Amino acid sequence: MTALDLSSPVAVVGTGTMGQGIAQVALVAGHPVRLYDTAPGRAQAAADAIGARLDRLVAKDRLTGADRDAARARLLPAESLAELADCALVVEAVVERLDVKQELLRELEGVVDEDCLLATNTSSLSVTAIGGALANPGRFVGLHFFNPAPLLPLVEVVSGFATDVTSATRAYETARAWGKTPVACADTPGFIVNRIARPFYAEAFAVHEAQGADPATIDAVLRECGGFKMGAFELTDLIGQDVNESVTHSVWQAFFHDVRFTPSLAQRRLVESGRLGRKSGHGWYDYAEDAERDEPHTAEKRQQPAYVVAEGDLGPASELLSLIREAGIPVREEEEDHGTRLVLPSGGQLALADGQTSVEFRDVVYFDLAVDYRRATRIALSASQDTAPQTLTEAIGLFQALGKDVSVIGDVPGMIVARTVARIVDLAHDAVAKGVATVEDIDTAMRLGVNYPMGPFEWSRRLGRGWAYDLLDELHVREPSGRYAPSLALYRHAYASDKREGSTS
């Protein structure tokens, strides 16, 4: 099954931001495009807005004047659904209400030809449920573009329960022909990106609610240590707290209140207070012109330790040993069967976040996971009230000697980046096991859809097959609500790996 021929008209119903963006993508790809909106004058206004954006593309040398003129000639506002009768593809981008979408599709089915592909750009509703209103749901598919559609490459091609393979394939190939990067996905709450991305927000909010750190510090750690482009608090302020919470609530509800997707009470309070983020002038942060910028907690300068003793290779943090040597700090290595820690001159220990807490041990400071310890500019440390002050001082001084800013947070199991990455990896394995998408498509979706530094399975391979399972298992012991219980898929992944290694040793 091939992509739609460029001579085939494409229609977009609903002319808001997403509708206009999708129409522009199809238009620039070379299709005749029809715009329809129930509100009088909206389709024409959308066509004018798209034309203005084409002018800006010409000004930036991203489109020739001739191509712009040809595109404008192919763009036609429609005054009724009847004018969409000859379209080969109709994408609806109307309000996120099941009844509205179903009613629209029933009307469309009576207008277009039998071989016309019908699609929805929904981000939160079930494709199966929307298509359930159709006499022929086999030709109905989800085409979930990301905002802004002309710029972001990812398109989730979602097959409902009744979607024909030929329809999904045609939609997939058409998206690819439009210059997008499509990924195939089964109809599941949140599809790929909005399902697997929930822990990025949820764990940041949980650390804050537990008084582990303030939003500015958590955001800085996610960016400067975790390698994420934005922190969870600043990103949700940009998205809109009401929008982000609505997606979280929708996924949680669709999974029958699965505790792994439980919404944040702190975020609910923001929404209730009208603090919706940038668009309202206040969210987690204050965006007033005279507002003082919130800064992350950064430890004052400390003396570096005279040496460290490395027990084991530090696992995913093994690169630190090279960095410590390069900083001129002697490293004494001792082989330990189960050792993955640094011993400081005071006798205190430094260990990579593993889901346990400092208070459980005599004198341990935990450090957070980094996507790349060499490139990271900030490291988070956690300690308990019982941690010796000298141990914490030496730990801070060690990472400062490596050129890192240091943020000391509360005694939070799994810290910030480590628990976030572990949960993302777990949900990704669970999604593959349940047939939601392939490993490759999930990695692609998370890199392109939310700009993660790497896909969940890339992380899994880099960190070791048992790393996420072990950390979540420890977290589950300390918070046995089920939120951190590793999935059966992750358990099988880690156990099978151990079994194979045991059989070859």
> How many angstroms separate the Cα of 484 from the Cα of each of 178, 232, 355, 400, 419?
40, 19, 10, 32, 9
3-state secondary structure 385-414: CCCCHHHHHHHHHHHHHCCCEEEEECCCCC
CB of 218 within 8 A of CB of 204? yes
Q: What whole-number distance in Å separates Cα of residue 411 and Cα of residue 213? A: 10
Determine the angle formed by the axes of helices 417-433 and 439-449, rounding to 10 degrees: 140
Catalytic residue among 121, 124, 194, 358: 194
Q: What whole-number distance in Å separates Cα of residue 442 and Cα of residue 429? A: 10
Catalytic residue among 31, 121, 124, 144: 144
Cα 392 to the center of its chain, rounded Å: 33
Nearest of 443, 453, 425, 445 to residue 228 by alpha carbon: 453
Residues contacting residue 194 through CB under 8 Å, at least 6 positions apart: 123, 124, 247, 251
DSSP per-residue letters across 118-165: EEE--SSS-HHHHHTTSS-GGGEEEEEE-SSTTT--EEEEEE-TT--H
Q: What whole-number distance in Å separates Cα of residue 117 and Cα of residue 89? A: 5
CB of 127 within 8 A of CB of 163? yes
CB of 14 within 8 A of CB of 122? no
If you search the block for the tokens 């800064």, which residue do you land on?
A: 295
Catalytic residue among 92, 156, 245, 474: 156
Q: Both tokens of residue 33?
A: 């495009």
Residues contacting residue 413 through CB under 8 Å, at least 6 positions apart: 353, 355, 356, 357, 419, 474, 475, 478, 479
Q: How many CA atoms lie within 13 A of 350 on its CB side?
A: 32
Q: What whole-number distance in Å separates Cα of residue 476 and Cα of residue 483? A: 7
Catalytic residue among 92, 109, 121, 123: 123
Q: Residue 468: helix, strand or coil by DSSP?
A: helix
Instruction: Confirm whether 194 is a catalytic residue.
Output: yes
Alpha helices in 255-388 (DSSP H): 265-272, 319-326
Instruction: Confirm whether 144 is a catalytic residue.
Output: yes
Nearest of 377, 355, 339, 488 to residue 421 by alpha carbon: 355
Burial class (CB in 10 A: 0-12, 13-18, 19+), 330: exposed
Catalytic residue IDs: 123, 144, 156, 194
